[in-house]
Chain A
Amino acid sequence: MSSLRTYVIVRTLMTIPIVLILLTLVFIILRVMPGDPITSMVGMKAPPEYIEMLKEKAGLNKPLIVQYFDYLFGILRGDFGRSLIWGERPVLYEIFDHLPATIELTIFGFAVSVIIGLITGTIAGVRSGTKTDNALRIYSILAYATFIPWLGMMFQLIFGVYLKLLPVSGRIEPSLTIDWKPITGLYVLDGILTGRLDITLDALKHLILPSITLGIVLSGAYTRLVRANIIEVLGQDFVRAAKARGLSEIKVLKHVLKNAFIPVLTMMGLQFAILLTGAVLTETTFSWPGMGTFLLERIKYVDYTTIQGTIVFFALFVSIVNLVVDILYALIDPRIRY
């Protein structure tokens, strides 16, 4: 137990330099790179007084080193700056307004990708070397090479435009939420919590196309990983022993699956960054009011402080998720210790 505690402490401490480096990188990208962000975002044609005013407001007129420490200490205090255009609203509030939409989408997208990955990966692993296995290998390559907005649009075309079965944009039918206050911001959950099952159902209906789009594209990686694990576990002694004892195929497979799933967990940390990238594209395709849509909208309006705050938030978010995944993995696998 004590070695587990050491691992958790060391791993948590290791997050500090990583976060510091990410914050510095964000600063370098936004402030130090040639050209100044406000001018290139507003465009050269904007009146110079307007550009000066925006720079002053964003604190860009101070010496770089002062800006850097203002920025670091601000984040340390939980101050992500204030919006340049939206009535000086704290950026963090705005982020929390949009975060639940992204979390809901990524949870469902992730679930779809793991389910598809587990099924296709298990089949490919059990039938390794056959035509089915080869076909699934091609599937995993194609899934990986699919451009998310394109797949999303094809779904919109079939299920929205032609069949008129599913909504093609947004999270919920606006008329349903007129006198309804969400609690967590995750609409599927909030509908249940407030006893409004119609809201849960409508939110689920809106989630189908975006999460399947995101899930299919990300599933290819899981197909491969699960396949490789299944093949490895199938060759282990305990499986042969179980078969020799006359255990049914299904029961053997249950043990195999349990063991094959553990490495999938480790990949979740790395997959999370890919999931967020995918979410930005999915959100834009389905007008999903999450973090990606929010960031792009503010880039368009040159809300510089909000852009910086949002990117910093992404950096912190990714680092924390990676930390949590690593710790979870250490809990499951006793070999990971310091």
Chain B
Amino acid sequence: MNIVNAILEKLKTMGLLRNSNALFKAGIIIVAGIIILSALAPLLTPYSPIVGTGDELAPPSLKHPMGTNNLGYDMFSRVLYGARTVLTVVVSATLLSMAIGVPLGLISGYYGGKVDRAISIVMDSMYAFPSLILALAIAAVLGASLINAIIAIAVVYVPTYFRMVRGQTLSIKSLLYVEAARALGAPDSRIITRYVFPNLLPTVLVVFSMNIADAILTEAGLSFLGFSVPPPTPDWGADLRAGHSFMLAGYWWLVAFPGLMIMLLATGFALIGEGLSDILNPRREAVG
């Protein structure tokens, strides 16, 4: 279990827990808060997110803290359960992109040559393409469902990991201790897993949390356009879509709360990413 030990060591030397700053803490509090609230949803609200309460378009009150929608669904309940949908899609999708993008970037950066050029140009082309339109095309072909939304979002973010990992691998590869290991006759597989990969971790972590923030917005966009989970599954973007025409008639609570949650959760992950990047590159903060 060499790799696991190397990773643990790296995380320790990064001093994540000791040096955390305000941004990082704020992000953790927001994200953990939303995860806990959504996990405790059945305890926090007596209403199901997909069963009408009989009260239609009721404004926020003690009984319904975020009001009810046109079908009588309790919005507070939909917001809490919606977090589960969003987190499921977004975390699965980004883990999937990472699982594809990181190894590709490692291989491409470490070995170089024709394979590297071929993969790079494909990834760069995808990277330049508008992400939501790419995800939309994939989701439209596959059909609107939870799994397909995950696939669509995962494909879109593979180049993000690839580009970052490839760039980092190129610079780590030329460091003295890697050359020393190679001179000692260490095989490529050992150099990659023992020396290159653990050094990538800090950056992968930063990109991962930033990427989740971005993916939350893409997921919301897909479901706002009608290409994620089918109704009545609770989902913030889908609720914005469904509530839009009612909002124009003055029923603001149908869209205000789900939209705020998207912003809050994306902000939480962006703050974690920002904080991590400050912790890992303290010089950058000092210079600006």
Contacts from A to B (Cβ < 8 Å): 17-18, 21-22, 25-26, 29-30, 33-35, 37, 40-41, 125, 128, 141-142, 144-151, 153-154, 156-157, 160-161, 168, 227-228, 231-232, 269-270, 273-274, 276-277, 280-281, 284-285, 295-296, 299, 307, 311, 314-315, 318-319, 322
**Interface assignment of B282: CB less than 8 Å from any CB of chain A:** no
**Interface assignment of B221: CB less than 8 Å from any CB of chain A:** yes
Given A149-B224, A150-B263, are A314 and B133 neighbors across the interface (CB < 8 Å)? yes
**Interface assignment of B36: CB less than 8 Å from any CB of chain A:** no
13 extra interface residue pairs, beta carbon distance < 8 Å, beyond A149-B241, A295-B133, A307-B137 = A25-B126, A29-B134, A29-B137, A35-B141, A142-B267, A147-B221, A161-B249, A231-B288, A232-B288, A270-B128, A280-B130, A280-B132, A281-B221
CB distance from B278 to the nearest CB of A (A): 10
Q: Across the interface, do B131 and A273 meet the contact criterion of CB distance under 8 Å?
A: yes
* Number of B interface residues in the complex (CB < 8 A): 49
Complex formed: what's the CA distance from A270 to B121 in Å? 16
Q: Can you report 9 A-B residue pairs in the complex whose CB atoms are below 8 A from each other?
A: A25-B122, A144-B213, A145-B217, A147-B224, A147-B237, A153-B240, A273-B130, A276-B130, A281-B132
Complex formed: what's the CA distance from A163 to B237 in Å? 26
A-chain residues with CB within 8 Å of residue B136 when the two chains form the complex: 280, 295-296, 299
**Interface assignment of B259: CB less than 8 Å from any CB of chain A:** yes
Complex formed: what's the CA distance from A77 to B7 in Å? 54
Residue from the set B125, B143, B262, B270 with the largest chain A CB neighbour count within 10 Å: B125
Q: Across the interface, do B250 and A22 meet the contact criterion of CB distance under 8 Å?
A: no
Per a CB cutoff under 8 Å, which of A26, A40, A145, A153 touches B137? Answer: A26
Per a CB cutoff under 8 Å, which of A37, A146, A276, A319 touches B133? Answer: A276
Q: Across the interface, do A277 and B250 meet the contact criterion of CB distance under 8 Å?
A: no
CB distance from A263 to the nearest CB of B (A): 14
Q: Across the interface, do A147 and B250 meet the contact criterion of CB distance under 8 Å?
A: no
Complex formed: what's the CA distance from A228 to B284 in Å? 10
CB distance from A42 to the nearest CB of B (A): 10
Complex formed: what's the CA distance from A47 to B132 in Å? 31
A-chain residues with CB within 8 Å of residue B141 when the two chains form the complex: 29-30, 33, 35, 37, 40-41
Q: Across the interface, do A150 and B240 meet the contact criterion of CB distance under 8 Å?
A: yes
B-chain residues with CB within 8 Å of residue A33 when the two chains form the complex: 138, 141-142
Q: Across the interface, do B129 and A314 meet the contact criterion of CB distance under 8 Å?
A: yes
Complex formed: what's the CA distance from A33 to B138 in Å? 9
Residue from the set B122, B129, B263 with the largest chain A CB neighbour count within 10 Å: B129
Per a CB cutoff under 8 Å, which of B122, B248, B258, B260 touches A21? Answer: B122
Q: Across the interface, do A156 and B248 meet the contact criterion of CB distance under 8 Å?
A: yes
Q: Across the interface, do B263 and A274 meet the contact criterion of CB distance under 8 Å?
A: no
Closest A residue, CB atoms, query B213: A145
Complex formed: what's the CA distance from A311 to B139 in Å? 13
A-chain residues with CB within 8 Å of residue B221 when the two chains form the complex: 147-149, 277, 280-281
Complex formed: what's the CA distance from A232 to B284 in Å? 12
B-chain residues with CB within 8 Å of residue A41 when the two chains form the complex: 140-141, 143
CB distance from B227 to the nearest CB of A (A): 8
Per a CB cutoff under 8 Å, which of A128, A150, A232, A284 touches B259? Answer: A150
Complex formed: what's the CA distance from A153 to B224 in Å? 12
A-chain residues with CB within 8 Å of residue B224 when the two chains form the complex: 147, 149, 281, 284
Q: Across the interface, do A18 and B121 meet the contact criterion of CB distance under 8 Å?
A: yes
Complex formed: what's the CA distance from A151 to B220 in Å? 13
B-chain residues with CB within 8 Å of residue A231 when the two chains form the complex: 287-288
B-chain residues with CB within 8 Å of residue A141 when the two chains form the complex: 267, 270-271, 274
- Interface pairs A-B: 8 shortest CB-CB: A150-B259, A145-B266, A231-B288, A40-B143, A277-B132, A145-B267, A276-B130, A147-B262
B-chain residues with CB within 8 Å of residue A273 when the two chains form the complex: 128-131
Flag B110-129 by CB within 8 Å of A: 1 or 0 each: 00000000000110111011
Flag B139-152 by CB within 8 Å of A: 1 or 0 each: 01111000000000
B-chain residues with CB within 8 Å of residue A34 when the two chains form the complex: 142
Q: Across the interface, do B137 and A311 meet the contact criterion of CB distance under 8 Å?
A: yes
Closest A residue, CB atoms, query B285: A129
**Interface assignment of B229: CB less than 8 Å from any CB of chain A:** no
Complex formed: what's the CA distance from A227 to B285 in Å? 13
